[in-house]
């Protein structure tokens, strides 16, 4: 499942809820990430036991705890300027 669908699961859950309750409810769901997959249980295990008062707090935890598999191209940013003294790519207008 994509991260957006996992976010919807968290939004539909009743709060307050603990990390353990969310893991018990949704741990078997598998996230499809750009560089592989991982279960929501894997994500929830990365954080200390915590109680979330709202779905927004749980969503923040989800997005901050996914592994590096969620990163497309590590170190890549199309927003950074070209380093001084180097020749960068030609700008392209879409």
Q: Measured in whole angstroms, how far is the alpha carbon of residue 35 from the centre of its chain?
A: 13
Contact 20, 50 (CB under 8 A): no
Give CA–CA dist 32/28, Å, rounded.
13
- Residue 69's pLDDT is 83
- What's the pLDDT at 74? 67
| DSSP state for residue 94 in the 8-state scheme | -
Helix (H), strand (E) at residue 42: helix 40-45
User: In terms of pTM, does the model score above 0.85?
Assistant: no
Pairing mode of beta strands 51-52, 36-39: unpaired
Tell me the two tokens of residue 14: 């009743």
Does some domain include residue 77?
no
Determine whether 29 is exposed, middle or buried from the number of CB atoms within 10 Å of its CB (0-12, 13-18, 19+). Answer: middle
Judge whether 50 lies within some domain.
yes
Quote the number of domains for the chain.
Answer: 1
Please report the pLDDT score of residue 59 as a whole number: 94
Encode the chain (94 residues) as per-residue pLDDT tens digits: 998 999 999 999 999 999 999 999 999 999 998 888 999 999 999 999 999 999 999 999 999 899 888 876 666 666 666 666 666 666 667 6
Asked whether residue 33 is assigned to any structural domain, the reply reads yes
Identify whether 90 is part of a domain: no
The boundaries of the domain holding residue 43 are 3-70
Instruction: Name the burial class of residue 40, with classes exposed (0-12), middle (13-18) and buried (19+) by CB atoms within 10 angstroms of its CB.
Output: buried
Whether residue 79 is contained in a domain is answered as no
């Amino acid at each position: 499942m994509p991260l957006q669908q996992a976010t919807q699961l968290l939004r539909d859950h009743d709060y307050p809820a603990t990390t353990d309750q969310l893991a018990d409810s949704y741990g078997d769901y598998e996230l499809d990430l750009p560089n592989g997959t991982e279960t929501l249980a894997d994500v929830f295990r990365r954080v200390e036991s915590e109680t979330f008062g709202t779905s927004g707090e749980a969503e923040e935890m989800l997005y901050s705890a996914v592994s590096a598999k969620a990163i497309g191209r590590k170190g890549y940013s199309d927003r950074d300027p070209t380093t001084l003294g180097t020749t960068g790519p030609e700008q392209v207008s879409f």
